[in-house]
Structure 1
Amino acid sequence: MSINKELIAKNIRERRKAKKWSQEYLAEKCDLSAQYISQIETKKKMASLKTVGKIAEALDVSIESITGNPMESNNPQNYEIDLVFDDLNAYERAVLKDVLLATKKALRENKKIFG
């Protein structure tokens, strides 16, 4: 799953406007600041899965309708992982991939040792 910031911003803005809500009103319903809602809608900030969930709940829509991606109910961490990787350049992705593979190997080897 890849994160589409433009789609998320557009979907939040469209759903908010369809309800004729101001950013201030949505922010109040989500216990967020109006400035933060504005930053999400203008793609200056990317919301965490928890925040997208709060916004979706306030707007009475599914997270999927905002992200454009079906969420795996048993693994919502995929969204958060995609957010981490989203703004990395090719070099950073390569280094992080190597670190993760080494970490995975160490975790599995130590699991065998510690049972």
Structure 2
Amino acid sequence: MELDYNKLGQRIRKYRMAAHFTQEQLAEAVDVVPSSISRIETNANSCSLSLLIKIATALNVGIDALICDSLPPVKDLYIRKDFETLLSDCTTKELNLLFRVLEVTKKALRE
């Protein structure tokens, strides 16, 4: 699972502009040089967790708002893990039957 720094930079820019901050003002608020903000927003540089927290605080948004489109949906990962756990001790016969039931159920849900 990798952080998409391009999307992260886009979100930082979006929230910075919504807060009516220039890159210079945000840089001053988080104690970095303005070019650092520019490089983060354009994905030329990544940013540390501590800087990301400072940016979120300065923009008055939660850190999740900055990374929400940058990571795979966590909920999907948990559901897939739950399926894996549920099926881990099934026999081949049980797996085949469950597969057919799931296939029919999925088709019915989509109709």
- Fold equivalence (TM over 0.5): yes
Give matches, 1:19-98, under 5 Å.
19-68=19-68, 69=71
Distance 1:65 1:27 in 2: 19
Shift, 1:2, TM fit: 2.2
Q: Identity over the aligned pairs, expressed in percent?
A: 36
Letter in 2 for 1:8: L
Q: Deviations over 1:42-82 (max 9, x none)?
A: 10000011110010000011111101159xxxxxxxxxxxx
Aligned match of 1:76:
none
Offset of 1:5 from its aligned partner?
Answer: 0.8
CA distance, structure 2, for counterparts of residue 37 and residue 4 of structure 1: 16
Count how many residue pairs are aligned between Structure 1 and Structure 2: 70
Aligned letter for 1:11? R
Is 1:11 the equivalent of 2:7?
A: no
**Structure ID, larger Rg:** 2
- TM superposition score normalised by structure 1: 0.58
Unaligned runs of 5+ in 2: 73-111
Determine the C-alpha separation between the residues in 2 that align with 1:38 and 1:30: 13
CA RMSD of aligned residues (A): 1.4
List 4+ stretches of structure 1 deviating above 4 A.
Answer: none
Q: Distance in 2 between matches of 1:32 and 1:48?
A: 12
- Partner amino acid for 1:52? L
Normalising by the residue count of structure 2, what TM-score does the alignment of the two structures yield?
0.60
Unaligned runs of 5+ in 1: 71-115
